[in-house]
Amino acid sequence: MSIFESIILGIIQGLTEFLPVSSSGHLELGKAILGDTSLPQESMMMTVVLHLATALSTLVIFRKDVLVIFRGLIQFENNDEFHFSLKIIISMIPAAAIGVFFSSELELLFDKQIMLVGFMLFLTGTLLFVADRSQNTGTEVSYKNAIIIGIAQAIAILPGISRSGATISTSVLLGVDRSKAAGFSFLMVIPLIFGKIAKDIFDGALNYNNDQVVVLAAGFIAAFTTGLLACQWMIKLVRDAQLSYFSYYCFVVGTIAIVYELV
């Protein structure tokens, strides 16, 4: 993989991690279109580095909220900070369980499964279209909602289903305030990303050579800087109820993916 290709993939990851159009699906499409011939281990290393970059950009944007979560867990008092922290933890459980017990099966879904990506993008588009027309009741995230949103995040592990799209749409359909839905969606994925990276490191699943350092660094920088912009943009779009535009995009890209695979 060249530096140019890694930058392109970094920009794709930075935009699509936060915009509700499936980062994993777009990365697979991007690799296919760019003719990625790297070994599976090298391709996985690039994917992990790009996800790390967007996780760090999330930390920068939501640094105050992250401090609230840590403070709530450390103080362990019966207050709003503690309950918010607990809801974040509860929302992680479904996706974490699937990642731990079905990691091998999941890896098979990320091996150029373009047809699957196409159909899942249609599912994402439908969810966004319906959510954009729901009424915003402005409620808080309850413990029950946290579990349901967590299940949506677990389902969104499938390539082509947008994680942010699934969790934000689910939150909006549950009546959660749109701005709070976006913030909760972005915060709940941070521990999962770092947990997945830690697991891959301890399992020895991440391998790279010195020739890859510059390529990986280029992709990381592109994903991080693009992610900073996309994260703030997405919060505004959710608040202004403009999710339907992305549903149309998902329908178009899903169609292209299916046609590309058939041809």
Residue with tokens 């703030």: 232
Of 233, 205, 220, 129, give the one whose Cα is nearest residue 173.
129
The DSSP line for 6-46 is HHHHHHHHHHHTTTTS-HHHHHHHHHHHTT----HHHHHHH
Tell me how crowded residue 70 is: count the other CB atoms within 10 A of its CB.
12
Q: What is the per-residue pLDDT for 40?
A: 47
Predicted local confidence at residue 112, as pLDDT: 64
Place of tokens 């319906």: 130
* Dihedral sign (CA 232, 235, 238, 241): negative
Distance CA 12, CA 219 (A): 10
Q: What is the pTM of this model?
A: 0.79
Mean pLDDT, 10 residues at a time, over the chain (263 residues)? 84 84 75 62 74 89 85 78 88 87 69 80 90 77 92 87 88 86 85 79 67 87 92 80 83 89 82
CB 180 within 8 A of CB 140: yes
Q: Using an 8 Å Cβ cutoff, are 227 and 16 in contact?
A: no
The first and second tokens of residue 129, run together, are 């279209």
What was the pLDDT predicted at 144?
Answer: 92
Q: What is the pLDDT of residue 164?
A: 85
Predicted local confidence at residue 107, as pLDDT? 67
Residue 67 neighbours by CB under 8 Å, 6+ apart: none
